Amino acid sequence: MCEDTPLFKSYPSLSARLPRVSLGIWPTPVERLRELERRHGLPAFYVKRDDMSSGIYGGNKVRKLEFTLADALRRGYGRVMTMGAAGSNHVLATALHGRRLGLRTTALLFEQPCASYVRRNLLLDLANGVEMIWVPSIPMVPLYWAREGFSPPDILRGERPYRLPAGGSSPLGCIGYVNGGMEIAQQVRKGLIPEPAVVITAMGTHGTAAGLWLGLRMGGLASRVVGVAVVEKTLCNPYLWARLARRTASLLSCLDPGIEAPRARPSDLCFVGDYLGRGYGFVTPEDVAAIRDLWELEGLKLEGTYTGKAMAAALDIARELAAGESILFVNTYNSVDLSTGAEGLDYRRLPTPFQRFFEQPCLDQETL
């Protein structure tokens, strides 16, 4: 039901204009990390458990897919095409949740450092019928993106795909995190958490951070939103973030003129770009330490590409908060155990370019 989310409760007319499929379990809980506070001498430190957003595959992609996959179905598509690095969590989430709805997935995949989760996700993509297309370099992605789905056989079969940007971070996808931000505001009003001084999340394609900022403001909170970059600044920066947030606000206003969504400026985001290290997919010592601490102290599983870096930044930012202030970390990782989902699959069934991830040493980011 659309009415189970804060956005639709606040603006009921949206339910007739904005398709949504129910994929997640809402609201996701908020928890206080007291052992982490004690170990590091921190003020009140909370986590928003978006890792628990679905029993099939959780994390931040679920909120976005509820709207983008609904749009694909409404428009009559049978196939979704998206993109990401070889071990993309977004691609896997799209495949798993799309399959529930009868949608097939095509993925343009490109290079990233080898890690155990990359191997696991590739095998899970295979198990879930993803059509995997290797893109030799990131600069070639736009060429492949423009070309795929436009071959004469595809057109004749009516197989042109629904195009879903990297990370699901279209204005439509961002509406999922407008809900997320308003959900946090609702949890504050219910007394489940104090109004956080800082809400912090990993940021790659900007969608989570853009939607969160809009939702928090529409929910009446003044919390500072911190985006921790996990890709290079040419691809991830406050200017691109503000552009996506404004486009999302414009979409909401078009759908319901009664929505007075704020217009973001680059300065509205607290951008943190110092935790990237060597680049996307490479861990840093701070990243590794944060992952170990959260697992040992709180039983919370993070990974090295996104949430470990965001947590490393969160720990440093928390140390600088004033007395009485609190911080909320949005855990965007999936916590569903998928380790048995690809058991018995031979990696040699993968397209040839992907087999090398199983034939070379890799950095195990999840058990460092």
CA torsion 227-3-101-16 (nearest 10°) is: -100
Q: What would the two tokens of residue 116 be?
A: 């155990």
Q: What would the two tokens of residue 321 be?
A: 């908060």
How are strands ordered across the β-sheet holding 79-85?
131-134, 104-110, 79-85, 162-163
Alpha-carbon distance values, 182 to 12, 146, 216, 233, 334 (Å): 15, 36, 6, 28, 21
* Residue-level pLDDT at 365: 46
- Condensed to tens digits (0 to 9), the pLDDT of residues 1-46 reads 445 689 999 999 999 999 999 999 999 999 999 999 999 999 999 9
C-alpha–C-alpha distance, residues 196 and 181, integer Å: 12
* Residue-level pLDDT at 368: 43
Closest listed residue to residue 244, CA positions, set 225, 276, 266, 260: 266
C-alpha–C-alpha distance, residues 352 and 294, integer Å: 37
What parts of the chain have a pLDDT lower than 70? 1-4, 149-158, 364-368
* Residue-level pLDDT at 362: 82
- Condensed to tens digits (0 to 9), the pLDDT of residues 129-169 reads 999 999 999 899 999 998 886 655 554 455 789 999 999 99
* Residue-level pLDDT at 366: 46
Query: Is the CB of residue 326 less than 8 Å from the CB of residue 194?
Result: yes
Query: Is the CB of residue 270 less than 8 Å from the CB of residue 203?
Result: no
